[in-house]
């Protein structure tokens, strides 16, 4: 039995995980698709794939069979190579596909689900309703900020992947590899963050002004928009929300909050201003960036999103949510099930008891205390323990309960 790692999150997380599994005696392999993958991953068990995307399914099938792979780990399930890998795993006997993702419960968790994440998550109401916690959750460890580290990883990955294209000439990335643009965008993000501290009101000021609905925007190239919604981009989503809000005659304000990871890459100020002028709602629409999100969620009348996991934080703060895309949390008892046009006038839908039950379920099913970008030893150990618990590794958990896996 062996474990296969495909592309991981930005940075050396896959390297740390490979080394930890190897130390436990697990046969572990990784497939590198470009120079960025090679730079950040362990050379142990590494194989470079330089073929075409068309030939990838055949290569992957043969690799899984010849190396007796039983567990496949990948970051996300929407990248072309990962989609094919997942499809093949479902066809093979006893090959389990797990997808990593940023934590549903942020900022102190990462996600690891079998079968898929976000819109492909296997979570549904029928699983949550009869659930009673089995494992006593440990005390949550704070992960701290990692924005600068993520920026460095992103710029390094893009630059190395670009420079190594001569060796990986058939590789197709899931988004443009633009190291210079990426670097400039992170610099711009920092400068904008400093500027907005002085030019935009803080959260406390906003909540005193007027009742408001909050619209947390997602990253412009978020795969959840492409694969799990009917919108072709954030611009279309913004216009749809503005149109519905204006038609409702709602007396509250509408606050669009930019995604912090997208601050240096996009800006919707001109679009929002133009739409607000066209709908005659200029006095009721605001566009903000770095205000304290929990404060906004605690005091807003409701939240409108495509499928952002900000909704999970909204549940915690008892804010009604309307989801406009496919989302694993879009279910009766959590989100508003009516049309957006009526949500503005009667925001509701949250069952507090079911919301607490849902969070408890998440903590036991796929949420791992840790970070891809810091506290690597702690995070990797928690990942291995979780994989042991769901029988995805040929190891067992130490009966002493210290989380160490033993052969």
pLDDT in tens, 152-200: 998 999 999 999 999 999 999 988 778 888 889 889 999 999 999 999 9
Strand 321-323's sheet: what is its strand order? Answer: 285-288, 253-257, 212-216, 302-305, 321-323
State the pLDDT confidence band at 126, using cuts at 50, 70 and 90: confident
Say if 151 falls within a structural domain: no
From CA 377, how far away is CA 190, in angstroms rounded? 29
Say if 381 falls within a structural domain: yes
For the residues 13-19, what does the mean pLDDT come to?
97
From CA 185, how far away is CA 187, in angstroms rounded? 5
For the residues 384-403, what does the mean pLDDT come to?
80
The pLDDT > 70 percentage for the chain reads 96
Say if 121 falls within a structural domain: no
For the chain, give me the number of helices (H) and strands (E)?
16, 14
Say if 128 falls within a structural domain: no
Say if 205 falls within a structural domain: yes
DSSP for 243-277, written as a single string: HHHHHHT--SEEEEE--GGGTTT---HHHHHHHHH
**pLDDT (0 to 100) of residue 399:** 58
Whether residues 253 and 304 fall in one domain:
yes
At residue 347, does pLDDT exceed 80?
A: yes
For the residues 24-42, what does the mean pLDDT come to?
96
From CA 123, how far away is CA 120, in angstroms rounded? 9
Q: Which is more confident, 76 or 322?
A: 322
Q: Which residue has the tokens 């990955």?
A: 157
Say if 189 falls within a structural domain: no
From CA 397, how far away is CA 24, in angstroms rounded? 12
- pLDDT, one tens digit per residue, over 360-384 is 999 889 999 999 999 999 999 999 9
Residues in Cβ contact with 367 at an 8 Å cutoff, skipping those fewer than 6 apart: 103, 104, 105, 109, 110, 111
Residues of the domain holding 333 = 201-360
Whether residues 236 and 328 fall in one domain:
yes
Whether residues 301 and 397 fall in one domain:
no
**pLDDT (0 to 100) of residue 147:** 81
Whether residues 344 and 396 fall in one domain:
no
Whether residues 395 and 306 fall in one domain:
no
**pLDDT (0 to 100) of residue 137:** 56
At residue 322, does pLDDT exceed 80?
A: yes
- pLDDT, one tens digit per residue, over 309-320 is 999 999 999 999
At residue 394, does pLDDT exceed 80?
A: yes
State the pLDDT confidence band at 405, using cuts at 50, 70 and 90: low
Say if 17 falls within a structural domain: yes
- pLDDT, one tens digit per residue, over 262-286 is 999 999 999 999 999 999 999 999 9
Question: What are 46's strand-pairing partners?
Answer: 30
- pLDDT, one tens digit per residue, over 244-259 is 999 999 999 999 999 9
From CA 194, how far away is CA 185, in angstroms rounded? 14
Whether residues 293 and 402 fall in one domain:
no
Whether residues 230 and 335 fall in one domain:
yes
Task: For residue 289, report the phi and psi dihedrals to the nearest 5 degrees.
Answer: -130, -65
**pLDDT (0 to 100) of residue 402:** 57
- The mean predicted confidence, pLDDT, of the chain is 92
For the domain that residue 252 is a member of, what is the CATH number? Answer: 3.40.50.2000
At residue 138, does pLDDT exceed 90?
A: no
Count of domains observed in the chain? 2
Whether residues 349 and 397 fall in one domain:
no
pTM reported for the whole predicted model: 0.91
Say if 184 falls within a structural domain: no
**pLDDT (0 to 100) of residue 406:** 56
């Amino acid at each position: 039995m062996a474990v296969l790692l495909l592309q991981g999150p930005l940075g050396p997380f896959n390297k740390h995980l490979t080394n930890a599994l190897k130390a436990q005696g697990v046969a572990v392999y990784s497939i590198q698709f470009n120079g960025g993958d090679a730079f950040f991953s362990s050379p142990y068990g590494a194989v470079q794939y330089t073929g075409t995307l068309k030939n990838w399914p055949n290569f992957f099938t043969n690799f899984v069979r010849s190396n007796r792979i039983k567990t496949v780990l990948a970051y996300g399930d929407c990248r072309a190579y990962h989609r094919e890998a997942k499809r093949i795993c479902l066809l093979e006997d006893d090959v389990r596909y797990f997808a990593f993702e940023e934590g549903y419960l942020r900022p102190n968790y990462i996600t690891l689900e079998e079968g898929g994440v976000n819109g492909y998550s296997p979570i549904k109401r029928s699983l949550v309703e009869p659930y009673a916690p089995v494992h006593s959750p440990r005390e949550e460890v704070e992960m701290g900020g990692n924005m600068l580290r993520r920026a460095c990883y992103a710029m390094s990955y893009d630059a190395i992947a670009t420079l190594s294209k001569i060796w990986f000439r058939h590789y197709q990335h899931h988004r443009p590899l633009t190291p210079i643009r990426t670097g400039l965008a992170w610099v711009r993000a920092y400068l904008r963050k400093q500027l907005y501290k002085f030019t935009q009101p803080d959260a406390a000021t906003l909540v005193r002004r007027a009742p408001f609905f909050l619209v947390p925007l997602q990253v412009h190239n978020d795969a959840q928009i492409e694969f799990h919604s009917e919108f072709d981009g954030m611009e279309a989503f913004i216009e749809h929300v503005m149109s519905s809000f204006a038609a409702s005659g709602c007396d509250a304000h509408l606050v669009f909050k930019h995604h912090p990871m997208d601050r240096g890459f996009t800006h919707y100020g001109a679009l929002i201003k133009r739409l607000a002028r066209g709908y005659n709602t200029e006095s009721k629409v605001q566009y903000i960036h770095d205000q304290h999100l929990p404060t906004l969620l605690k005091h807003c009348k409701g939240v409108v999103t495509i499928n952002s996991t900000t909704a999970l934080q909204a549940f915690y703060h008892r804010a009604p949510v309307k989801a406009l895309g496919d989302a694993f949390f879009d279910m009766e008892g959590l989100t508003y099930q009516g049309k957006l046009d009526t949500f503005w006038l009667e925001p509701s839908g949250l069952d507090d008891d079911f919301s607490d039950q849902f969070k408890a379920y998440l903590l036991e099913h796929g949420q791992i205390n840790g970070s891809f970008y810091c506290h690597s030893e702690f995070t990797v150990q928690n990942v291995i323990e979780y994989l042991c618990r769901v029988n995805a590794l040929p190891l067992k958990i130490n009966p002493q309960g210290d989380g160490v896996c033993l052969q």
